[in-house]
Structure 1
Amino acid sequence: MAKVDKLSINHLVTQREGNIVSDMGSEKVMLNIENGKYYNLGTTGGEMWELIAAPIAVNEVVTKIMTKYNVSKEQCEQEVLSFLAHMYEEKLVQVTTQK
């Protein structure tokens, strides 16, 4: 898998294996087996985690989050890209280019 320098709305993202995710009330928490770190995904992050169970374009994640929350497209893109880029840096998600 080639390294992606900068995540864009046109990339495909999906969960990587090796994470244990649990519901804690309305939020999701995750333990990465490989690095031993815990992550609090929160409510919206947990929803994004569920959306990326199978490969999905980042712009589709943005559309689905915008549909649920009253947020501008620009702000939603920024927040989704920031969250997924952090997840990618932590090796929690896989990123590929669309064909």
Structure 2
Amino acid sequence: MVEDRMETLTPLPHSTLLIRSDDILAAELDGETVLLKIERGAYFGLDDIGGEVWRLLETPLAAGDLYGALSGRYDADAATIESDLAPVLVEMMGEGLIRVAA
């Protein structure tokens, strides 16, 4: 399952430049960020932190800078943010929601 697979994923290097994929529709509904991948008709719901990641990746941002930005907004150090978020970012890449920027 997804949880088992996420535990075995290698975190992204801090220099990996990330950005949102182009073919995603996004909306805010009742405090949740909702994404629709048009190509697949797949729906995704993001919590507060996921929504913040989505907003930050409007422009290309290095993974390390993303962790640092989130640690400044939430009560956690960058290492904790990275260990919690890196597998989610890899999963988002696998779903085609975000990509490595050119």
Which residue of 2 is the match for residue 15 of structure 1? 20
- Find the aligned partners of 2:38 and 2:59 in 1 and give their Cα distance: 20
Q: Helix, strand or coil: the match of 2:19?
A: strand
Distance 1:6 1:73, change over 3 A: closer
Counting only pairs closer than 5 Å after superposition, residues 1-99 of structure 1 correspond to structure 2 as: 7-96=12-101
Q: Give 1:63's aligned amino acid.
A: G
- The sequence identity of aligned pairs, in percent, is 26
Higher mean alpha-carbon deviation, 40-49 vs 71-80, is at 71-80
The alignment yields a C-alpha RMSD, in angstroms, of 1.7
What TM-score comes out, normalization by structure 2 length?
A: 0.82
Structure 2, unmatched stretches of 5+, are 1-9
Structure 1, unmatched stretches of 5+, are none
Which residue of 1 is the match for residue 4 of structure 2? none
- Aligned pair count reads 93
Q: Helix, strand or coil: the match of 2:75?
A: coil
What TM-score comes out, normalization by structure 1 length?
A: 0.85
Shift of 1:6: 5.9
- Find the aligned partners of 1:89 and 1:11 in 2 and give their Cα distance: 15
Q: Give 1:79's aligned amino acid.
A: D
